[in-house]
């Protein structure tokens, strides 16, 4: 199957972005009426908003025993950490992989490994810089716990940031999810923490670029 040049640059847009593109397009029309150079600035901002809400299809690897990245971005932390209490994963440290998303990344989030969602928990908090370690505890967040077919569990936490003030999670408790399936979105830059299940070994390193649904982030042993 060939890939056209157009499809390389033009990606599907998530429905959440339609109203924002419409707002920016309307503002752009007004700016053109006021002064043409301002109008072209509006065009650039409208294109950026569309680009932010892009939701491209991803080629999810079908290899057994792997977990994929839940977000586009850069691995910012890789360390043992106690998961948030609301996930119900216990008080012992688990390997945490943090993926930081800039405003230029695709912000649709995907399930790392197939399983059943047992917990969805929203926690109100601050809006600190999401790249900081303390953001895991202090920032507003939404966490899900997923149970694998072998009974092991892992957690994924969507964390708000300085600019990101809207966390969306449209998956519910009891939902059976497939690897790479979309489960949520964070508007305008933030971070995702993945708490790996026992026995899983991370395959990434700090500074590595992640592609949601495609990059293998860990192997299940």
pLDDT digits (tens, 9 = 90+) for 178-221: 999 999 998 766 899 999 999 999 999 999 999 999 999 999 98
* Residue from 69, 76, 98, 190 carrying the catalytic annotation: 190
Q: By mean pLDDT, which of 46-55, 65-74, 125-134, 157-166 is the weakest?
A: 125-134
Residue 56: band (very low, low, confident or very high) from pLDDT cuts 50, 70, 90:
confident
Active site residue 76: no
Q: Is the pLDDT of residue 1 over 50?
A: no
Angle at CA of residue 103, ends 101 and 109, nearest 5°: 45
- Which residue's entry shows tokens 């990101």? 164
73-81 and 209-210 strand pairing: antiparallel
Q: What is the mean pLDDT of the chain?
A: 89
Tell the burial category of 21 from Cβ atoms under 10 Å away from its Cβ (0-12, 13-18, 19+).
middle
pLDDT at 15: 76
Alpha helices in 114-206 (DSSP H): 135-138
pLDDT at 163: 62
23 with 78: CB under 8 angstroms? no
Report domain 66-219's class.
mainly beta
17 with 52: CB under 8 angstroms? yes
Rg (CA), the chain: 18
At 153-187, the pLDDT tens digits run 999 999 987 665 678 899 999 999 999 999 999 87
Separation between Cα atoms, residue 96 and residue 77, nearest integer Å: 7
pLDDT at 10: 66
Q: Is the pLDDT of residue 110 over 70?
A: yes
What is the model's pTM? 0.85
Task: Give start-end residues of each CATH 2.70.70 domain in the chain.
Answer: 66-219
Separation between Cα atoms, residue 144 and residue 86, nearest integer Å: 9
């Amino acid at each position: 199957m060939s890939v056209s040049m157009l499809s390389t640059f033009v990606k599907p847009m998530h429905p959440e972005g339609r109203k924002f593109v419409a707002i920016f397009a309307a503002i752009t029309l007004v700016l053109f009426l006021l002064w043409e150079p301002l109008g072209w600035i509006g065009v650039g901002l409208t294109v950026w908003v569309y680009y932010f809400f892009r939701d491209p299809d991803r080629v999810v690897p079908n290899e057994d025993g792997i977990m994929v990245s839940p977000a586009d971005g850069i691995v910012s932390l890789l360390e043992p950490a106690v998961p948030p209490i609301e996930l119900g994963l216990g008080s012992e440290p688990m390997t945490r992989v943090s993926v930081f998303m800039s405003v230029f990344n695709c912000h649709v989030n995907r399930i790392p490994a197939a399983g059943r969602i047992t917990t969805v928990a929203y926690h109100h908090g601050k809006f600190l810089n999401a790249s900081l370690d303390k953001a895991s505890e202090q920032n507003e967040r939404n966490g899900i716990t997923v149970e694998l077919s072998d009974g092991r569990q892992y957690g994924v936490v969507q964390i708000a940031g300085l600019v990101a003030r809207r966390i969306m999670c449209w998956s519910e408790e009891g939902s059976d999810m497939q690897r790479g399936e979309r489960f949520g979105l964070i508007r305008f830059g933030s971070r995702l923490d993945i708490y790996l299940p026992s026995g899983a070994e991370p395959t990434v390193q700090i500074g590595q670029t992640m592609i949601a649904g495609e990059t293998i982030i860990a192997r299940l042993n």
